[in-house]
Copies of this chain bind each other. A is one copy, B any other.
Amino acid sequence: MLKGIVTVSLKQDVLDPQGQAVLHSLQTLGFPEAQNVRIGKSIEVWLEESDSQKAESRLKEMCEALLVNSVIEDYSFEIVED
């Protein structure tokens, strides 16, 4: 079985209030070296598929159909054996 690991992040111009909240907490907790925080998603998808090229193209379709909101998010992925 193959596993796709999709990393979804907010586009650079999109505000990330959750990241700002975490940044503020880190600074309060004694980590002044933290300069910025952005929070995204890591989505693992297990695929009943042995051909990694086919898996790659299907995973791309999944990202575009459901996993990623391309208006505000960017994504990248890798396919690994699992």
A interface with B by C-beta (< 8 Å)? 1, 7-9, 22, 25-26, 29, 31-49, 58, 61-62, 65-67
Contact = CB atoms under 8 A, between A and B. Distances in A.
A38 to B, nearest CB: 5
Contact of A41 (B42, B46, B48, B61): B42
Contacts of A48: 32-35
7 contacts: A22-B43, A22-B67, A31-B58, A31-B62, A33-B49, A36-B44, A37-B44
Best-buried of A32, A45, A62 by chain B (most CB within 10 Å)? A45
A34 B49 CA distance: 9
A44 B34 contact: no
